[in-house]
Every structure is written in C-alpha cells, then in structure tokens.
Amino acid sequence: MSALTTLFRDAGRPLLMPYAVGGYPDPESCLAIVRAYSKAGAGIVEMGIPFSDPLADGPVIQAASQVALRHGVKPAHVLDLAAQIAGEGVPVVLLSYLNTILAFGAERFFDRCRSAGVLGVVVPDLPVEEADGLQKTAKDRAVDVILLAAPTSTEARLARIAGAASGFIYCVSTTGVTGARASLRYDLPEFVARVRRHSDLPLAVGFGVSTAEQAASVASYADGVIIGSALIDLVQKSQDLDSALARLGVYLDEIGAAMAGTAPREL
C-alpha cells in the first residue's frame, strides 16, 4: 500500500483537497495560500504545474496558469514549492500534463518528486492504455501516478482504470473542463459507487465542487473532495494577498464544517 493510500485510510474521514496553481499569483504568495489551506484543515494539497495548453482546465485555472507562466514559473519552481510545503508537514500531490513530465524527463521528474516529498502526480491527459511505463518509473521512486475516471466510462474501462490505478482514483464529477458549477450531476453518487465496485482504493471527486453543500454531499460517498476553481476565483477577485487569505480561510472553514458533519467511513 502506498503512502498516499495509507494517508486516506488512516484519516478515517473524507479529506479536503484544495487545489492551487503552482507559483500563482507569485511563488511567495502561493506558499502563503497553501499554508492557509493547511491551517483550514486540508488533508492533502493539490498543486498544479502551470502549462500553456491545459486542456482539462476551465477559464479560471487557465488564466491563473498564464499569469504564473508570464512570471517565469517553471516545473522546477513548483517542485521547490512542493518540497517546502511537504517539509512543513503538508501532504502534497501535483497535477501535471504529460508533455511537461516528458520534457522534464520522466526519471528526473519523479526523482525530484521523491526528494520533494510529493506523494503522487495527477496526469489528466494520460490514458490508462499508455500509463504503464510512466507508472513504473513513478512507482520505482515511491510516487503514485493518479488516473482519472469519468462518468461516461464504460464498466470495462472502469475495470481497466481500477486495475492500473494506485494512490487514489480521481473521479471527475462531470464531462468537460474544471470550473465551479451551480449544481453537480444528479447521478454522481451512482458513478462513484460504480468505480468503488471495481476498486478498494480511495476515491476523490473533483471538477465543479464549489459550495459547502456540494462538499458535504460529495463527502457522504467519496473519500476526498477536491476544490480548485472556486478557490482560485477568490484569489483573483481579492484586492490583495491579505484579503485573499482572509476570504480563503472563511470559505474553507465553511467547507470543512460541512464535511465534518458526514459520518466516518472505513476504507
């Protein structure tokens, strides 16, 4: 069992998993934002490596990525941030598109992940059919490559994803790109139950979760609740960093309180 899977199992409750774009709005501010996530009770922080063509991301995260790229943020800078955060006791998972990993060099990238204390890497554009080589490179360095499952996946595909997955499975709440949504799919609990029939790994839900009510609902049947665009939108609309940190704290406290009302669950 990997360290990431063990983290979920030992928690005994669904984990709040806030997302940050690495280096946004600048590296020092990003570090303060992630510390605010931790202070608000984040179980795992997910940090994205800015990419020029993030196909799975909606306009909010795309805009933040562009800001970070214009400021010269590179994968090595995000890995340095991850090392600092992990060194402060905050579990870290990265999100990286495949081209970024290949351009960096897969062995070198996962060597850096291991030395930084990164537990896993979500690769949203990595199909399960092409995952074996990258997964072996990562597993040899005690890092999980996180695979995604979508509501449109057939049972056969879910079984294949489950058979290849490690760490946890990222359950995409809807088709399309990331972004806050007024409501989630009515059949999302059924989708997560479908995935769970194929795997005993933890299941985290992301894409679209933005309100305390939605987070509490997802926490009632999933093992992790990933929130990204809503958080980055708060930062973008804040006058300054201090205002952003205050607003993030209030928002995440509301999310955490809502999730705390869900029953503990054994994995």
Three-state DSSP state, 118: coil
Active-site option among 26, 28, 57, 140: 57
- Span between the terminal Cα atoms of the chain, in Å: 12
Q: Is 46 a catalytic residue?
A: yes
Q: Yes or no: say if 95 and 124 are a contact pair by the CB < 8 Å rule.
A: yes
Candidates 46, 144, 223, 233; catalytic one: 46
* Separation CA 134–CA 99 (nearest Å): 12
How many whole angstroms separate alpha carbon 191 and alpha carbon 205? 10
Residue count of the chain, please give it: 267
Concerning whether 111 is annotated as a catalytic residue, the answer is no
| Kind plus residue range of the DSSP H or E element containing 114 | helix 106-116
Q: Which residues are catalytic?
A: 46, 57
